[in-house]
Structure formats: C-alpha cells, structure tokens
Amino acid sequence: MAISTADFRNGMCIEYNGKLCTIVEFQHVKPGKGGAFVRTKLKDIKTGRVVDYTFNSGTKFDTVRLETKKMQYLYNDGANYNFMDNTTYEQLEIPAETVGDAAKWLKENDEASLLYAGEELISIEPQMFVELEVTHTEPGFKGDTATNTTKPATLETGIELQVPTFIEIGDVLQIDTRDGRVIKRV
C-alpha cells in the first residue's frame, strides 16, 4: 500500500532505497520560501542503523506490514537454531547467520520474538531480560569492596561480560539484553 509523507507515524515501516526502515522520528517543515518538506530519522530494520533523511512533502512510499511471532527456542544443532511455535507446535530451523547477535542471549526453552515482513524473517529479538548462569570467573578477593569494580565472567551461552567482583561460579544473573548490563543476582 502506498502512503505519502502526510501519513507518516512513528514506528511505521516503509520501504526506502530497497531497504525496510521504521520511522523513528519525523517533522513536517513549512519554510517561508519554497516548498514544504519532511525531516525524518529512519532505522534500517536489518542493521539497526539510524539515518537522517529529508523528503519533499507528498513523496510516496510503500508501507510494509510487520508481524511479530513469539516462539520458543529449542536447541542449536551446529548450523541452525531450532524454534517452535507454541500454538501450532510447528518447528522452524533458522540459519545461524540470520540469528546473529541474538544467539548470545538465547537459552534453551526461552521465548524469542521473530519479526516478519510479509513472509520474510527480518530479525530475532530475545526477551528483554534473561537469567543466565555464570560458568567461569576468577574468584573475588575478601575485602575487595571498592565500588564499581568488575571482573570478566563467562555465562552459560558462551558470552563474556564484566560483572561485579562478588559474583561467583554458579550464580544466576539477570541480564538486560539491550545493552548487556547485569541487573541483579537471582
């Protein structure tokens, strides 16, 4: 479906230069001299890059309907990540390249959101907060209580993060997947 710049809404998905982009922000500008135009910030869905664009007022674009499906992550067989739809019990194999960075937050039996544009899988989003066990870290020293001191730790999915010094092997941590920050020890 074609829309013009007058129909822009934040969060809307459009196709521009062969890429799927969501509208992060837009502003209609009517200068005293010359024609009206629209300043936008578009986020490329695949890369996550946000770029500023300016369009003449009335420019037409194709909209894309995005659909999110919640699926359960089952396992990784080496080449593919396997997911299951909890309503139909249909299983889906997704190549590791498509899963990308989301793989470091996926733990077996956790839910993930799969974003589709039509029939094409665009991205996989893990839950906002995940609970992962620490599998390796150096021991903290007694009396080492300086604020904001950290040490490296490896979690059960293989990712390495900086954690507070009091964290030990076997501790379960709640992690914010948006920035990799440790929220709390569970």
User: What's the pLDDT band for 50 if we cut at 50, 70, 90?
Assistant: very high
pLDDT digit string, tens, across residues 76-93: 988 899 999 989 999 999
Does position 30 have pLDDT exceeding 80, yes or no?
Answer: yes
Amino acid at 149: T
pLDDT digit string, tens, across residues 95-122: 988 888 888 899 999 999 998 887 888 8
CB atoms within 10 A of CB 169: 13
The superfamily (CATH) of domain 130-185 is Nucleic acid-binding proteins (2.40.50.140)
Strands (E), the chain: 2-4, 13-16, 19-29, 37-44, 50-56, 60-63, 66-76, 80-85, 91-95, 111-117, 120-126, 129-137, 150-155, 160-164, 172-176, 181-185
Please give the pLDDT value at position 129.
92
Amino acid at 40: T
Please give the pLDDT value at position 149.
80
Task: Delimit the domains of the chain by residue range.
Answer: 2-63, 66-126, 130-185
| CA gap 162, 155 in Å, rounded | 11
At residue 1, the 3 state secondary structure works out as coil
Does position 68 have pLDDT exceeding 70, yes or no?
Answer: yes
The token duo for 184 is 């709390």
Please give the pLDDT value at position 146.
61
Class of domain 2-63: mainly beta
Class of domain 66-126: mainly beta
CB atoms within 10 A of CB 127: 15
The token duo for 154 is 């490896």
pLDDT digit string, tens, across residues 128-178: 999 999 999 888 766 566 667 888 999 998 899 988 888 889 999 999 988
